Amino acid sequence: MPLLLPSTQRGPLPSPWLIREEEYDHGKATALAGWNVETLIFDPGVAFDLLLDLPASPPHGIAFGSSLRFWTEAALFSLALITEEQFIPTIRENIAVWTAVIAGDDVERVRTLADAMPAYCRALIIQKEDGSGAQDTRPQHIIRSFIDRTVDVFVRRSLASVSLIPPRRGRRPKIPPMPERLLSALSTGNPVLDAPIEDVAAFSGELEGWLTGLQPAMPSAPFRTCFRLDAPPDPDEWEYEGMDGGDGNYYDENGGGDEGGSESGGGSGDGTRERDPGRDWNRWSLDFFLQAKDDPSLLIPADKVWKTRSETLTFLKRKFKNPQEQLLADLGRASHTYPSIEKSLQDARPVGFDMSAGQAYSFLREFAPILEQNGFGVLLPPWWDKPGARLGVKLKIKTPSPVQEGGIGSGNFSVKSIMSYDWTVAIGDNTLSMDEFKHLASLKIPLVQVRGKWVELRSEDIETAISFFEKKHKEREITLGEAMRLGLGADDARDEIGLPVVGVETEGWLKEMLSKFSGDEGGDEGEGGDGAKITLVDQPKAFNGVLRPYQAKGVSWLAYLYGFGFGACLADDMGLGKTVELIAFLLHVREEGVSEEGKTPDPTLLICPMSVVGNWRKEVERFAPSLGVMIHHGADRLAGRAFAEEAEKHDLVISTYALAHRDEEALSQVHWQHIVLDEAQNIKNPAAKQTQAIKRIKADHTIALTGTPVENRLSDLWSIMDFLNRGYLGSAQGFRKSFAIPIEKYRDDARAEVLRRIIQPFVLRRLKTDPTIIQDLPEKVEAKVYHNLTHEQASLYEAVVAEMLDKLDYADGIERKGIVLATLTKLKQICNHPALFLQDGSPLKARSGKLTRLGEMLEEVLSEGDKALIFTQFAGMGAMLRHHLQERFDCEVLFLHGGTPRKQRDEMIRRFQQDEHGPRLFVLSLKAGGFGLNLTAANHVFHFDRWWNPAVENQATDRVFRIGQTKNVFAHKFVCIGTLEERIDRMLEEKKALADAIVGSGEAWITELSTDELKDIFTLSRDAALAGGD
């Protein structure tokens, strides 16, 4: 099909959403030109289903263009209109279709969509059927066409199995009447009205007239006709205020509202109306008004409109022409929708009419929404459609003593702990006895007044409540998790109880806990999850360092949940120190456990990716050297009873996800105090054997660490929460139905808020951008990232070192220096990746501990919406990184090296710095990108390999940490455990004088070391590689 595309003289530019190859310079577009492009054409129904079913993120290897994302938003808008029944039948020539009704706020939404429409949505060149030119490509026209087509296909498909034509007695006429033909054309796959063109035109006019009659007379007028329903007042009430809260502006010439053109009378001047002695005050009333569209509180009663003598009514400096004509015409049109209005039109000056409670209920439930959809104003009693106006259940949850449940922190107290509760049937704030309820039920009316308040009494609720009352046992049981969900505002108990829970009363520690998590308590306390007020614990004495304020709060939050036996998910942004917080918490538990019970707590099992095993050990050695650490990994790892006996001698046992399944039997022999999952998104698949094995291993307490926002991936969230607090979010299928589908597919904000409330006690996520975090962080945070070699890397490394030592026995002078420098380069290449050393173009995946860890950290960076620079001193490694990261993350990765032309380099920098939808990862060779560039769009810097010259590395970091940077900067320096990388790094840390001496000398100082010193630095240690166990 012909598409109008940005083009150069060589052809159309490629899609900006596809990954670019910088080596090919596309140039800038010089014009829009038409090109024939192979295209798939979708039927509207298929397109609609496709757009609604698209995942939030594209599958691997697929990119979603901006136009596809735009039409997804438009499809959701169409679905909302269908849900609200905002569509009408329309006849176009001889075709019957359903079209959307765009009114009120939806008009602005269409305008917003039109303003946001990507230019690609208008690229299709379609000629009119008569060949007179191209079809209308204005954004609003295209959007309206899309909405109408999708609404028509959905409604038509929904009606395909429904007969709209009522049954007829006797023989059917040979020629069906036009209404029947219309219904058939609207509910089948054939939309054609098979009738003479004159008959179709006449019937179309009748249909249009009927539809027009449902709308207000003057849609462009500043006022509209409004209907206000008033409930009967209390017997002692002689005056009543407006049902909209009593703050409305009423037309009253005595009060100064009229500036001329009407006669006085009727109003009291204080916003109230006097009691009408002729009215039956046991009946409801529907009053007519004119209402300002831009200020719904501005109301002019109908009786004032009829008393207006001139053609223009002036009120609060607003002029309204022909008010009587519009009011009367609108009432006639409204009567087509609500026939009860017709009787009031027998009065020459209708102002409203009275009705029974049953009629009022019909108006509230059926006619008020339709009148509102048709553009009329509707004011209802403020209690209507609120939870307090419905029949429901109030629960009083009895809180047991934690000692009864086995003790707080004992492992026997959890969200599955059983609690008892009492219940009462309630309407609003009023609880009802059985006799009171039976009396209300006997009235058999849908609106009743209970202790001065009107409430809705649905027949289905009455039956459920009677059944509820008649159950033999009044006192029932509930889990602590269910009690917490209800106390935090969840609305998912109706299926089990049968009625909505309208109130939850708690006591004791449960009341205190829920109060803390809802932020109702104050005091000198720390904030936990979502503002929860948690008492701060002291920093453990054995902790080697100083916790930042927000980290101390994180430790206190973990301790608080542990006290109740609740699992906790620590989901802070990368770089904020989740590792440090967990280590401090483990020290806290051991110090508290020894002091309170006199015995050392059981060991903790930490399960993590293989790439971070070494990093965990290093961090524990640094911050908590008193903790005994055991690594369970490798071909020579212990098994059976030997493993259990050794594990019980240590405080922390570190293993990997793969071994959790393989060694489940051995791991299950130990009584664990805690099971901690690092990178907990690894159990996102609940059906995986690895996930199931981990959930079967028993522990007193569970903790999950993750840097990815769990609320963005609801399937991950359910699996993690099921590990932490089994059953709290229900079954996977129930969670998908109640939360995942409404939130992810239909963008249901109400369901998202419910989910946020019920998980907030167990998830603590602080962002680097949070004001309280920013003030605790230094402007630049530098951290070492420790990782292990793979088995392949270790073998290559040892072979190169052995070769060097053999050669050094026979070399000296320049030759010796050359051998050392060459070996140094080879070892650094091996630490980066075997393929860099071998230069054989072999695959990269799962062969380098450093590359694996980089990928894991970049996943967090991208999930947080940040940008990153990755520095390497090897151009070959840079090219590998670029292609590998593009393949892994399905996004474009820039690569700047010494051979990049200046023009191309400037374009890369511009896109990275300024393009909102541009690349978020930038690989740079240290020499080409280490100085002279301004790349402040990034706030993460990764030093993939080390230059061992602090000045050079700092210059590279300063591409980000410089004037213009508005975020905290995180510099990550990779260190390969047990290799020359770790030993040289340690030398530079321990001997600052040496570090100062080598500034500017590069790596030449290493060649001056003796053979024994080189052997100490270069030889691989036993803990360097962890491969072989997985």
Q: pLDDT value at position 996?
A: 56
CA atoms of 183 and 530, how far apart (whole Å): 54
Q: pLDDT value at position 953?
A: 80
In the DSSP assignment, the letter for residue 7 is E
Q: SS3 letters for 92-156?
A: ECCEEEEEECCCCHHHHHHHHHHHHCCHHHHCECCECCCCCCECCCCHHHHHHHHHHHHHHHHHH
Nearest CA-CA partner of 504 in 392, 385, 416, 382:
392
Mean pLDDT of 898-912: 89
Question: Is the pLDDT at 261 greater than 50, yes or no?
Answer: no
Question: Is the pLDDT at 56 greater than 80, yes or no?
Answer: no
What are the CB-based long-range contacts (under 8 Å, 24+) for 79-83?
Answer: 79/52, 79/154, 79/746, 81/106, 81/147, 81/151, 82/151, 82/154, 82/155
Q: How confident is the model at residue 258 (pLDDT cuts 50, 70, 90)?
A: very low
CA 224-230-236 angle, to 5 degrees, is: 145
Nearest CA-CA partner of 629 in 649, 610, 650, 659:
650
Higher pLDDT, 264 or 204: 204
Q: How confident is the model at residue 506 (pLDDT cuts 50, 70, 90)?
A: confident
By mean pLDDT, which of 106-115, 250-259, 374-383, 442-451 is the weakest?
250-259
Q: pLDDT value at position 20?
A: 67
Q: SS3 letters for 328-354?
A: HHHHHHHHHHCCCHHHHCCCCCCCEEE
Q: How confident is the model at residue 145 (pLDDT cuts 50, 70, 90)?
A: very high
SS3 of residue 943 by DSSP? strand
Nearest CA-CA partner of 427 in 386, 375, 463, 485:
386
- Whether 305 contacts 225, CB under 8 Å: no
CA atoms of 748 and 735, how far apart (whole Å): 14
In the DSSP assignment, the letter for residue 60 is T
Give one DSSP letter per residue of 221-290, joined into a string. SSEEEEEEEEPPPPTT--EE--TTTS--EE--GGGT-B-SSB---S--SSS-EE--TTS-TTSEEEEEEE
Q: pLDDT value at position 709?
A: 65
CB atoms within 10 A of CB 270: 11
- Please state the φ and ψ torsions of residue 222, each to the nearest 5 degrees: -75, -15
The DSSP element (H or E) to which 91 belongs, if any, is strand 87-92
Determine what percent of the chain is predicted with pLDDT higher than 90.
Answer: 41
Residue 907 burial (10 A CB sphere; 0-12, 13-18, 19+): middle
Q: pLDDT value at position 176?
A: 83
Residue 564 burial (10 A CB sphere; 0-12, 13-18, 19+): buried
Question: Is the pLDDT at 530 greater than 50, yes or no?
Answer: no
Mean pLDDT of 995-1003: 55
Mean pLDDT of 413-418: 75
Residues 6+ apart with CB under 8 A from 687: none
pTM of the full predicted structure? 0.79
Residues 6+ apart with CB under 8 A from 83: none
Give one DSSP letter per residue of 474-506, joined into a string. S-EEEEHHHHHHHHTT----HHHHSS-EEEEE-
Amino acid at 522: G
Q: pLDDT value at position 257?
A: 43
Question: Is the pLDDT at 718 greater than 90, yes or no?
Answer: yes
Averaged confidence pLDDT in the chain:
83
> pLDDT digits over 663-683, tens only?
999 999 999 999 999 999 999
Question: Is the pLDDT at 189 greater than 80, yes or no?
Answer: yes
Question: Is the pLDDT at 452 greater than 60, yes or no?
Answer: yes
Question: Is the pLDDT at 334 greater than 50, yes or no?
Answer: yes
Q: pLDDT value at position 72?
A: 94
By mean pLDDT, which of 110-124, 701-715, 1006-1020 is the weakest?
701-715
Mean pLDDT of 910-936: 85
Q: How confident is the model at residue 1026 (pLDDT cuts 50, 70, 90)?
A: low
CA atoms of 103 and 215, how far apart (whole Å): 11
Mean pLDDT of 977-1001: 72
Which range has the top average pLDDT, 507-521, 649-663, 959-973? 649-663
Mean pLDDT of 711-733: 87
Q: pLDDT value at position 407?
A: 39
CA atoms of 731 and 492, how far apart (whole Å): 13
Mean pLDDT of 465-484: 69
Question: Is the pLDDT at 172 greater than 80, yes or no?
Answer: no
CA atoms of 839 and 842, how far apart (whole Å): 8
By mean pLDDT, which of 303-312, 460-469, 781-790 is the weakest?
460-469
Residues 874, 880, 885, 891, CA torsion sign: positive
By mean pLDDT, which of 45-59, 226-240, 390-404, 985-999 is the weakest?
985-999
Q: pLDDT value at position 275?
A: 44
Question: Is the pLDDT at 997 greater than 80, yes or no?
Answer: no
Q: pLDDT value at position 254?
A: 41
CA atoms of 474 and 905, how far apart (whole Å): 76
Scanning the structure block, which residue is given the tokens 């740079």? 924
Mean pLDDT of 550-557: 94
Question: Is the pLDDT at 958 greater than 90, yes or no?
Answer: no
Determine what percent of the chain is predicted with pLDDT higher than 70.
Answer: 85
Burial letters 206-228, b for 16+ CB under 10 A, else e: ebeeeeebbbbbbeebebbbbbb
Cα torsion 428, 431, 434, 440 to 10°: value is: -30
Mean pLDDT of 566-577: 92
Q: pLDDT value at position 412?
A: 54
Q: pLDDT value at position 336?
A: 87
Hey, which bits of 348-484 come out as E strands? 352-355, 377-379, 391-398, 418-427, 430-432, 447-450, 453-456, 476-479
How far apart, in Å, are the Cα atoms of 157 and each of 45, 179, 1018? 9, 20, 72
Question: Is the pLDDT at 411 greater than 70, yes or no?
Answer: no
Residue 565 φ/ψ region, left for φ over 0, alpha for ψ in the -120 to 50 degree band, beta for the rest: left
Question: Is the pLDDT at 612 greater than 80, yes or no?
Answer: yes
Question: Is the pLDDT at 3 greater than 90, yes or no?
Answer: no
By mean pLDDT, which of 161-175, 199-213, 685-699, 849-863 is the weakest?
161-175
Nearest CA-CA partner of 400 in 384, 388, 412, 385:
412
Which residues share a beta bridge with 654? 606, 631
CA atoms of 291 and 225, how far apart (whole Å): 6
Higher pLDDT, 70 or 13: 70
Which range has the top average pLDDT, 250-254, 364-368, 987-991? 364-368
Scanning the structure block, which residue is given the tokens 């409004």? 226
In the DSSP assignment, the letter for residue 531 is G
> pLDDT digits over 788-841, tens only?
999 999 999 999 999 999 999 888 899 999 999 999 999 999 999 999 999 999
By mean pLDDT, which of 124-138, 215-229, 566-580 is the weakest?
124-138
Q: pLDDT value at position 456?
A: 83
Residues 6+ apart with CB under 8 A from 1023: 614, 617, 631, 788, 977, 978
Mean pLDDT of 928-936: 78
> Rounded to an integer, what is the distance from CA 64 to the centroid of its chain?
19
Q: pLDDT value at position 545?
A: 94
Q: How confident is the model at residue 266 (pLDDT cuts 50, 70, 90)?
A: very low
Q: pLDDT value at position 128?
A: 60
Q: How confident is the model at residue 467 (pLDDT cuts 50, 70, 90)?
A: confident
Higher pLDDT, 924 or 393: 924
- Domains of the chain (ranges plus CATH)? 40-164+177-207 (no CATH), 223-272+279-379 (no CATH), 398-515 (no CATH), 553-770 (3.40.50.10810), 780-1018 (3.40.50.300)
Q: How confident is the model at residue 715 (pLDDT cuts 50, 70, 90)?
A: confident
Residues 6+ apart with CB under 8 A from 116: 70, 73
Q: pLDDT value at position 238?
A: 39
Question: Is the pLDDT at 517 greater than 80, yes or no?
Answer: no
CA atoms of 897 and 76, how far apart (whole Å): 45
Q: How confident is the model at residue 491 (pLDDT cuts 50, 70, 90)?
A: low
State the first-to-last Cα distance of the chain, in angstroms, to the nearest integer: 52
Task: Quote the tokens at residue 387.
Answer: 């939870």
CA 629-788-980 angle, to 5 degrees, is: 110
- Whether 706 contacts 720, CB under 8 Å: yes
Q: pLDDT value at position 783?
A: 92
Question: Is the pLDDT at 562 greater than 80, yes or no?
Answer: yes
Q: How confident is the model at residue 1002 (pLDDT cuts 50, 70, 90)?
A: low
